[in-house]
């Protein structure tokens, strides 16, 4: 057993990178616990393991005390008895007696096996955690394994299972066993049961990483993706910027004949991509974010620095708001501003009423109730913000 144990320690250190001293310490603690349990020994004992020879010993530790102070013979030894062993002993010294049982070998072997198995398991868990912690916020390709009511299970390289919550699954996708999919490693937990890896297909950073793969200028930092607002499976808005005055950042992501953006769209199952330029001028940035709609004016709210009113031509109102408010909603998330969209005619009427309150009262007196109700609905539909 001693030879095999030394070889096992060598393998743990060389192949698994487990510190030999850590294993020896754990083994000595296990031996000590096993001895106390087996022999009902509560006295002060030490277990030692010679990791060169593979020899294990149990020693009882006794404190040398003056003869008159001796109270517990299991943990103390009188100075008179100590001097019989060695004349150099003094009160306060410790003497270790070998109490290793003759039949301790089998028990020690079992304890050693348990310690080694445990350390190997811990090392494997830590290695997995360290590996995938480095992959956090990165794309990795996995294979769909199975699905239950809680998760979709994806097998990653190295036979490591990851989980995808329903919120991280694309609403437009159906996953089948053995489908190969690209996922973003969104979180790595190191729990008592071992590392648990969470992956996502809906995270905005998945879009960013896909563009890094397709666009060299994004990968090397020449073009920066400043912000992403995403409704996974339907539409994303991406704001891009570059310090290179000779480079069109939007064109870089689109690519020749749209090849680059189309590769991302295909990977995401047809999700539409609106790519706009980020600029320091906040009004212009907000106007860009509402693409493809044209913007006439952007008016900042003096009472709320994160709120704006955007004026658009009458025929652009529906386009600016988008289907079910999506275009305006994504623009608000992209820019961080609460956006209220109004048509030019509505804005002009409001300005005229503000300039002539008397006319406003007269107008209200002659407007039919049905038309007034319609105007109120129109105003409500045009208002969206980043919290929708």
HSE of 171 in the Cβ direction (CA atoms, 13 Å)?
7
Same domain, 8 and 125: yes
Helices then strands, counting H and E runs in the chain, come out as 14, 15
Judge whether 194 and 213 are in contact, CB under 8 Å: no
Q: Which of 108, 131, 154 is the last residue of a domain?
A: 131
Q: Which of 201, 225, 250 is the last residue of a domain?
A: 201
Same domain, 190 and 154: yes
Same domain, 11 and 123: yes
Predicted pLDDT of residue 42 = 61
Q: Is residue 8 part of a domain?
A: yes
Same domain, 145 and 87: no
First to last CA, the chain: 68
Pairwise CA distance, residues 60 & 58, whole Å: 7
Q: Is residue 284 part of a domain?
A: no
Q: Is residue 255 part of a domain?
A: yes
Predicted pLDDT of residue 51 = 76
- CA neighbor of 280 nearest in space, from 321, 317, 224, 241: 241
Pairwise CA distance, residues 277 & 92, whole Å: 79
Crossing angle of helices 104-134 and 2-15, rounded to 10°: 10
Pairwise CA distance, residues 227 & 249, whole Å: 13
For residue 297, count other CB atoms closer than 10 A to its CB.
14
Domain at 309, CATH number:
3.30.300.20
Domain at 21, CATH number:
3.30.1480.10
∠ CA 321-288-183, rounded to 5°:
85
Q: Is residue 385 part of a domain?
A: yes
Same domain, 147 and 126: no
Q: Is residue 136 part of a domain?
A: no
Q: Is residue 223 part of a domain?
A: yes
Predicted pLDDT of residue 23 = 82
Q: Is residue 285 part of a domain?
A: no
Same domain, 234 and 169: no
Same domain, 310 and 352: yes
- CA neighbor of 107 nearest in space, from 207, 2, 35: 35
Judge whether 311 and 297 are in contact, CB under 8 Å: yes
Pairwise CA distance, residues 254 & 76, whole Å: 83
Long-range contacts of 51-57 (CB under 8 A, 24+ apart): 51/6, 51/9, 51/20, 51/24, 52/6, 53/2, 53/6, 54/1, 54/2, 54/3, 54/4, 54/5, 54/6, 55/2, 56/31, 56/100, 56/104, 56/108, 56/112, 57/98, 57/100
Same domain, 42 and 9: yes
pTM (predicted TM-score): 0.69
Pairwise CA distance, residues 277 & 337, whole Å: 16
Tally the domains of the chain. Answer: 4
Give phi and psi for 22, each to the nearest 5: -65, -40
**Residues composing the chain:** 388
Three-class SS of residue 2?
A: helix
Pairwise CA distance, residues 289 & 264, whole Å: 20
Give phi and psi for 354, each to the nearest 5: -65, -35
Judge whether 220 and 158 are in contact, CB under 8 Å: no
Predicted pLDDT of residue 384 = 38
Predicted pLDDT of residue 358 = 58
Q: Is residue 286 part of a domain?
A: no
Q: Which of 253, 278, 303 is the last residue of a domain?
A: 278
Same domain, 192 and 221: no
Token pair, residue 99, equals 């109490």
Domain at 195, CATH number:
2.40.50.140
pLDDT per residue as tens, the chain (388 positions) = 566 777 777 777 777 677 778 888 888 888 888 888 777 766 688 888 887 777 888 888 999 999 899 988 888 999 999 999 999 999 999 999 988 887 777 777 777 778 778 877 887 788 888 889 899 999 999 999 999 989 999 999 888 899 999 999 999 999 999 999 999 999 999 887 788 999 999 999 999 999 999 999 999 999 999 999 999 999 999 999 999 999 999 999 999 999 999 999 999 999 999 999 999 999 999 999 999 999 999 999 999 999 999 999 999 999 999 999 999 999 999 999 999 999 999 888 887 877 776 554 444 433 344 443 343 333 333 333 434 4
Same domain, 247 and 268: yes
| Structural domain harbouring 296 | 292-388
Same domain, 272 and 299: no
Predicted pLDDT of residue 292 = 93
Same domain, 127 and 146: no
């Amino acid at each position: 057993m001693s030879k095999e144990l030394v070889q096992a320690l060598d393998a743990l250190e060389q192949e698994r990178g487990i510190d030999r001293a850590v294993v020896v310490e754990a083994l000595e603690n296990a031996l000590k616990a096993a001895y106390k349990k087996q022999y009902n020994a509560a006295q002060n004992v030490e277990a030692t393991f010679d990791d060169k020879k593979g020899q294990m010993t149990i020693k009882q530790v006794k404190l040398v005390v003056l003869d008159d102070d001796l109270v517990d013979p299991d943990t103390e030894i009188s100075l008179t008895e100590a001097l019989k062993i060695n004349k150099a002993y003094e009160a306060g010294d410790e003497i270790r007696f070998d109490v290793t049982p003759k039949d301790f070998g089998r028990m020690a072997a079992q304890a050693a096996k348990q310690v080694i198995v445990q350390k190997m398991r811990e090392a494997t868990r830590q290695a997995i955690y360290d590996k995938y912690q480095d992959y956090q916020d990165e794309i990795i390709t996995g294979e769909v394994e199975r699905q239950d009511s809680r998760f979709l299970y994806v097998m990653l390289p190295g036979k490591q299972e990851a989980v995808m919550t329903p919120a991280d699954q694309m609403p437009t996708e159906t996953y089948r066993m053995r489908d190969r999919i690209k996922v973003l490693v969104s979180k790595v937990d190191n729990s008592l049961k071992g590392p648990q890896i969470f992956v996502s297909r809906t995270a905005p950073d998945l879009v960013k990483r896909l563009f890094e793969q397709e666009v060299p200028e994004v990968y090397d930092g020449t073009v920066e993706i400043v912000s992403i607002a995403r409704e996974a499976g339907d539409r994303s808005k991406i704001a891009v910027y570059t310090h290179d005055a000779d480079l069109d950042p939007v064109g870089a992501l689109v690519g020749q004949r749209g090849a680059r953006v189309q590769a991302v769209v295909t990977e995401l199952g047809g999700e539409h991509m609106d790519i706009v330029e980020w600029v320091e001028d906040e009004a212009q940035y907000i106007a860009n974010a509402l693409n493809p709609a044209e913007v006439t004016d952007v008016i900042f709210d003096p009472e709320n620095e994160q709120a704006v009113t955007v004026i658009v031509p009458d025929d652009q109102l529906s386009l600016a708001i988008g289907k079910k408010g999506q275009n305006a909603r994504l623009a608000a998330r992209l820019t961080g501003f609460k956006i209220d969209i109004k048509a030019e005619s509505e804005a002009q009427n409001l300005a005229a009423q503000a300039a002539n309150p008397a006319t406003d009262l007269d107008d209200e007196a002659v407007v039919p109730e049905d038309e007034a109700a319609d105007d109120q609905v129109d105003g409500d539909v045009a208002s969206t913000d980043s919290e929708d």
